[in-house]
């Protein structure tokens, strides 16, 4: 099995588009309060992403990610909130801790980043479509998702580097991919449970 197929099969077990949070967003049934919680809490993870590219000594992409951090802050601001310095939801805190650990060395960094970046174009497009179809919100909620809906180059770049690793390092990357995919799913569950279960 090819490296790409193995990684994508791992991610498929935790496909974020199948999560109840994103399904509700797409259907327009997600409360705006949940969008605010998402912006406020999940932003702590978005803030960590530049570090993943710094570990790979890819300053160009790290700089791009720092611009995306600012775009996420604008998304939160348009919803009347701001990104927490530290997550208040346990599962989101677990996600940031997982990212911190995986981003500490290149092989696990690559696997962790791939779990996120390989899914991001599809999830961003889904969220953008949901915002436009169902929510009457300021235009500033859209740019982060507009940019990432056609941001496939980062996943391709990561995959090429994983394919260049030794077999042992590729195994580390695959395990890291699974850990990150699960942590991303669980973070959404924590946010969903915070704001949606009572609705």
Q: Measured between alpha carbons, how far is residue 80 from residues 77, 141, 160, 190 in Å?
A: 5, 11, 40, 21
Distance of CA 52 to CAs 55, 100, 102, 138, 154, Å?
5, 9, 8, 31, 12
pTM of the model: 0.95
pLDDT tens digits, residue range 27-44? 999 999 999 999 999 999
pLDDT value at residue 198: 44
For 64-93, write each residue's pLDDT tens digit. Answer: 999 999 999 999 999 999 998 899 999 999
Domain count, the chain: 1
pLDDT per position as a tens digit, 128-157? 999 999 999 999 999 999 999 998 999 999
Residue 85: per-residue pLDDT = 83
Instruction: Tell me the residue range of the domain where 105 lies.
Output: 3-195
Between helices 167-195 and 106-117, what is the axis angle to 10°? 50
Instruction: Kindly state the DSSP code that residue 13 receives in the 8-state scheme.
Output: T
Q: What is the CATH number of the domain that holds 120?
A: 1.20.910.10
Per-residue pLDDT tens over the stretch 156-196? 999 999 999 999 999 999 999 999 999 999 999 999 998 76
**Which string of DSSP letters, residue by residue, matches 144-176?**
HHHHHTT--HHHHHHHHHHHTS-HHHHHHHHHH
- Determine the Cα angle at 47 with ends 46 and 49, to 5°: 65
């Amino acid at each position: 099995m090819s490296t790409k197929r193995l990684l994508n099969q791992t991610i498929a077990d935790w496909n974020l588009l199948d999560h109840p949070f994103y399904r509700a967003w797409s259907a327009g049934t997600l409360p705006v309060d949940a969008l605010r919680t998402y912006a406020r809490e999940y932003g702590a993870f978005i803030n960590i992403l530049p570090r993943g590219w710094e570990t790979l000594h890819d300053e160009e992409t790290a700089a791009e990610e720092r611009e995306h951090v600012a775009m996420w802050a604008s998304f939160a601001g348009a919803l009347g909130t701001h990104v927490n310095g530290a997550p208040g939801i346990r599962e989101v805190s677990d996600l940031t801790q997982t990212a911190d650990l995986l981003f500490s060395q290149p092989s696990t960094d690559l696997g962790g980043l791939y779990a996120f970046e390989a899914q991001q174009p599809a999830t961003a497009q889904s969220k953008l479509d949901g915002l436009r179809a169902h929510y009457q919100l300021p235009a500033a909620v859209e740019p982060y998702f507009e940019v990432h809906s056609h941001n496939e180059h980062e996943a391709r770049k990561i995959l090429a580097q994983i394919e260049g690793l030794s077999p042992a390092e590729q195994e580390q990357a695959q395990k890291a991919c699974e850990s990150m995919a699960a942590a991303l799913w669980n973070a959404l569950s924590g946010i969903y449970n915070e704001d949606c279960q009572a609705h």
